[in-house]
Amino acid sequence: MTLAASVSLTAALIAGACTTAMVAPDHHARALEIIKRDFKPRGQAGLDRLDADPVQAICNRTDNTPPVSIAHQMQNEQLATVAYPADGVLMGDWKKGEKLAQSGKGFTWKDKPGLPVGGNCYNCHQISPKELSFGTIGPSLFQIGKIRGNTPEMQKYVYGKIYNSKAFNLCSEMPRFGHIGALDSDQIKDLVALLLDPESPVNK
């Protein structure tokens, strides 16, 4: 199947799903109307951030519960977008990864476009035991490497998950850090090391 045909098929499936499984469409439209009315573009923070791609659109319209068949197809399409490092190395420096996880800098209206941004991982996850301020939207990642190992398969999974979370859970709340260009390959490698390196405090 060509890419164009795949996109057309996905669009048709989304339209069908939205017709049969739409959740409060008037409320959704009203919410967008209010946001666009009250939020003004400033700096690099433009209103284009409100534009939903097909994945986000179907998750919004189905209250994060799209039909399984559509979810599987779209997850596979998202997985195909994950760009793994050409050198095959998936772990970097966990110390740099910790700094990235702590930093929430970047992508705001006052930040200069093009500068490195942080991962802000602690906003949603427990990671290192020394950090007491963390969010709970995402699962705890404390000792993830100790529990699940750091095999090549696990490294590939974690790298892919950070790069594009929707390749593994279509309606994941986690940002698609690599997919949207927020983090580069080396930064993602450093985060993989933070989570899986046996020497990382996360796994002590």
Q: What is the pLDDT of residue 30?
A: 87
Choose which CATH entry (3.30.420.60, 3.40.640.10, 1.10.760.10, 1.10.260.40) describes domain 94-203: 1.10.760.10
Q: What is the pLDDT along the chain (204 residues), one digit of tens a residue?
A: 444 445 445 555 555 555 444 444 578 788 888 988 988 898 888 888 888 899 999 999 899 999 999 999 999 999 999 999 999 999 999 999 999 999 988 888 888 888 889 999 999 999 999 999 999 999 999 999 999 999 999 999 999 999 999 999 999 999 999 999 999 999 999 999 999 999 999 999
Domain ranges of the chain: 3-79, 94-203
Q: Measure the CA–CA gap between 153 and 49, rounded to whole angstroms.
A: 33
Q: What is the pLDDT of residue 116?
A: 86
> What is the pTM for the complete model shown?
0.83
Q: Measure the CA–CA gap between 24 and 66, rounded to whole angstroms.
A: 15
In three-state form (DSSP H/G/I as H, E/B as E, the rest C), the secondary structure along 63-110 is CCCCCHHHHHHHHHHHHCCCCCCCCCCCCCCHHHHHHHHHCCCCCCCC
